[in-house]
Amino acid sequence: MEQPIIKVNQISKVYQKGAIGSGTFSRDLENSVKSFYSRLTARNKDEDGELRKKKESIWSLKDVSFKLHEGDAVGIIGRNGAGKSTLLKILSRVTGPTYGSIEGRGRIASLLEVGTGFHPELSGRENIFLNGAILGMKSFEIRKNFDEIVEFSGVEDFIDTPVKRYSSGMYVRLAFAVAAHLESEILIIDEVLAVGDSAFQKKCLGKMGSISKDQGRTVLFVSHNMQSIQNLCNKSLLLNNGELIRQGKTADIIQEYLNEQETYTSLELQKNRKGDGKIKFKNLRLIDPETNQVLNQITCGKNLLIEIDFIAKEGAPIKDLEISIGFNDQFGTRQTLISNELSGQALSRPNAEIWTQRILVNKLSLALGNYSLNLFVSSKGCIHDWVMDAMPFYVEGDAYFENITMTLGSGKGNFYLDFNYL
């Protein structure tokens, strides 16, 4: 039986709220001993106090176990905070698990953050050799692949420029090129590729596919873009709140993940958001304008009324608001955008704490499938609230054209156009 290239045995990672390293091993060891003695004393003196201490622990991973083999391309899927990046850091040996163990063989190349393993004062050329050495490569191995790395990265004209002058996209181009072309057995990529442009992302996905299928190397890939995961990965892991929920074929794991998203959370309680909070989304409703009924499913070709309730803090901006709604498909790919900046309509809010904005979509042209809405409100370049995956919904049926039936994956595309043959 083929031996796994990575075997993860019940790894867990726990953090203490407010606890950070001192910067030296001796001091961290001293603090750990003191902390252990304090906990032991507290257990003997005050059980309630110890329970409070336990509640201050944050479990980023809990008893995660799996095996990977040579040539596997594995997607790691889950919401923000599910433990995906922590898992990659442990596998990359950036940090260690609190409990559990990892058995592995072969060299690991990883790209977890923009600029990881690069020195800003060194040139791109020098950083290729530095990063290669960090990844455990010999000098002759780096020289053998140097020209191909530079060509793939597309930064030939700046290869002797200090990387501190590179844009984040150039950083990622060069870092990915180094990680992908040096001869490691395992390649680990976090969603840092989202920094690059779409053409380079496509190029990277193609390279990772070649690494896995043609070279028999193992790839681990984290992304919120389900289309990229589906195209690249033959198997996937689904994480939720630090626990491994399921592992298996990528199509099955993606479907389970998407089904999870169907649970709707009140916008007031939604955690997946950014902004200063001066204006916040309070509620969202999709309504049939003919019957005034709230919809769970939308019919393609019918009008749609979107109602958004807002709540504003005292002193929040009144004029020059931008309110946008992004429509993403089931793979997280943006399909279309509604924005008053696109339509040229000036928006202001009433001088009230709570108010409602209504938006009418005429003859919705989205084809059959699962979608979700992203909500965004800002003024004068300042983001007040940005809610990701605010509401999942399903487009059903086909009232756009009476004489056809739309089916998923039919190749007819994601939109219908209003046209007539003349």
For residues 363 and 197, the model is more confident at 363
pLDDT at site 300: 84
Residue 109 confidence (pLDDT) above 80 = no
- According to DSSP, the β-strands at 6-16 and 99-104 are antiparallel
Contact 183, 191 (CB under 8 A): no
CA atoms within 13 A on the CB side of 327: 19
User: What is the helix (H) or strand (E) element at residue 376, kind and residue range?
Assistant: strand 369-379
In Å, what is the CA distance from 266 to each residue of 243, 269, 310, 389?
A: 24, 5, 13, 12
Averaged over 166-181, what is the pLDDT?
82
Structure tokens at 348: 């202001």
User: Coil, helix or strand for 351?
Assistant: coil
Residue 47 confidence (pLDDT) above 60 = no
Averaged over 136-164, what is the pLDDT?
88
Residue 407 confidence (pLDDT) above 50 = no
pLDDT at site 264: 44
* DSSP state string for 105-146: -S-EEEE-STTTT--TTSBHHHHHHHHHHHTT--HHHHHHHH
Q: What is the DSSP letter of 415?
A: B
Residue 51 confidence (pLDDT) above 70 = no
Residue 168 confidence (pLDDT) above 80 = no
CATH number of 273-396: 2.70.50.60
Q: How confident is the model at residue 134 (pLDDT cuts 50, 70, 90)?
A: confident
Residue 39 confidence (pLDDT) above 70 = no
At CA 223, angle to CA 335 and CA 167, rounded to 5? 90
Determine the Cα–Cα distance for residues 54 and 258; give it in Å rounded to an integer: 33
Burial class (CB in 10 A: 0-12, 13-18, 19+), 19: exposed
Q: Express each pLDDT in 77-99 by its tens digit.
A: 887 678 888 898 898 888 889 98
Task: Spell out the residues 6+ positions from residue 212 whose beta carbon is closer than 8 angstroms to its own.
Answer: 71, 72, 73, 218, 219, 232, 234
pLDDT at site 259: 66
Q: Express each pLDDT in 182-198 by its tens digit.
A: 777 888 888 766 555 66
Closest listed residue to residue 322, CA positions, set 339, 305, 337 = 339
Q: How confident is the model at residue 139 (pLDDT cuts 50, 70, 90)?
A: confident
Look at 61-70, 189-198, 229-238, 269-278 and tell me which has the smallest mean pLDDT.
189-198
In Å, what is the CA distance from 183 to each residue of 113, 180, 214, 217, 341?
A: 20, 8, 13, 9, 48
pLDDT at site 370: 79
Residue 21 confidence (pLDDT) above 70 = no
Which region holds residue 43: left if phi is over 0, alpha if psi is between -120 and 50, else beta? alpha
Which region holds residue 297: left if phi is over 0, alpha if psi is between -120 and 50, else beta? beta
Check: CATH 3.40.50.300 for 69-260?
A: yes
Strands (E) in 250-289, as ranges, are 273-274, 279-288
Residue 368 confidence (pLDDT) above 80 = no
Q: How confident is the model at residue 406 (pLDDT cuts 50, 70, 90)?
A: very low
The domain spans of the chain are 69-260, 273-396
N-to-C CA span, the chain: 66
Look at 162-171, 245-254, 316-325, 371-380 and tell me which has the smallest mean pLDDT.
162-171
* DSSP state string for 156-206: GGGTTSBGGGS-HHHHHHHHHHHHHHS--SEEEE-GGGGGS-HHHHHHHHH
Counting runs of H as helices and runs of E as strands, what totals does the chain give? Answer: 10, 19
Structure tokens at 91: 């596998």
pLDDT at site 193: 64
User: Coil, helix or strand for 387?
Assistant: strand
Residue 56 confidence (pLDDT) above 70 = no
